[in-house]
A and B are shown apart, each in its own frame.
Chain A
């Protein structure tokens, strides 16, 4: 059976957590993190623009 690769890995030998190029557990979690971060940034920009 294959060595299952962690998604979210970008470097060689990325089978373990150490080789991952993300602090998230996988790509999906990182995508959701990016959406949340965008919401925060946009909210700050919009609110600051109102003042």
Chain B
């Protein structure tokens, strides 16, 4: 891998204008737009915009980012704002690490066991389905390999992580990313409506989208769009445990798809290089998960006071402040995420990869909802 970009700290000053735009956007949304929506009377109903459209600061933030790039700035983010928007994933990861303060290890074990069962099953099922459909549609093996992990784990990160291992070209990754982002954006906006229409609980909704939505940022956005509260038992606390389990499985899924890819290539070509599971674990393991687990450990040890689990003592002031900060950090990150949704890039998706992506993505999305309904009595609340 080349390292042709300057270091983080050298680029940091150039990120300030973009960061300022993100922060001002979120401050305006939370201090003026959201309260205005809550107070405005439409069709005789006070707060109609929130009650009926379920718009909140998270969805508004994403929509603003999306409008900046695709409408206001005419399809590409101006250079002056670009580096600030590139901080968005850092913020989302920081928020996810801080989410560790919602859980104790006992809760993780309770919820995590079910998550491992569901996520593991869906990852395997999706990979098998993509590999089979890739053969049916006559897709290139590299393209199929990238799509298998992009659709089974967490979208973009998995597609990028898999690409060198299966000799994928830039266009393969481009198709895969365009397909999953397009599908993900759709599910991100419609899931809260479906969740409310079906009267799903936070637990059921979190389990569903944590399993059925492809991209980590979109899982987070969709959970907060359903219920913007950040506390134990809310949609985001459930969905993120599911998401963490899925992210952890990246190295294993990359290994499985790499083995499949090279097993089919051995007869014709042996010039490439495979990597062992151990090497992949060291290289690809998402380190922010370690930060998340350290946060869970500190919370379990009582480092920040009471967590505020239902039936227990109320949350400490430190925990309350951390949760408030988290909502802002997520808000900033998701304005930035919206700024990376590029309609031009989404139009690049097409042909057999798009067909395959839509079939598998929709199957996973619907099947996850059905499974959550079937096992709703066995889902463990935290």
Residues of A within 8 A of B (CB): 1-17, 20-35, 37-38, 41-42, 45-46, 48-49
Contact = CB atoms under 8 A, between A and B. Distances in A.
A13 B7 CA distance: 21
Give chain B's interface secondary structure class. Answer: helix
A30 B93 contact: yes
B74 interface: no
A12 B163 contact: no
Contacts of A17: 4-5
Given A42-B322, A49-B317, A12 B177 contact: yes
A22 B295 contact: no
A29 to B, nearest CB: 7
B291 A12 contact: no
A49 B162 CA distance: 44
B362 interface: no
Contact of A45 (B96, B286, B321, B348): B321
Contact of A33 (B8, B173, B174, B286): B8
Interface string B83-94: 100111110011
Interface in B175-212: 177-178
A5 B164 contact: yes
Contact of B340 (A11, A26, A49): A11
A14 B173 contact: yes
B174 A34 contact: no
Contacts of B321: 45, 48-49
Given A7-B160, A12-B345, A12-B348, A30 B325 contact: no
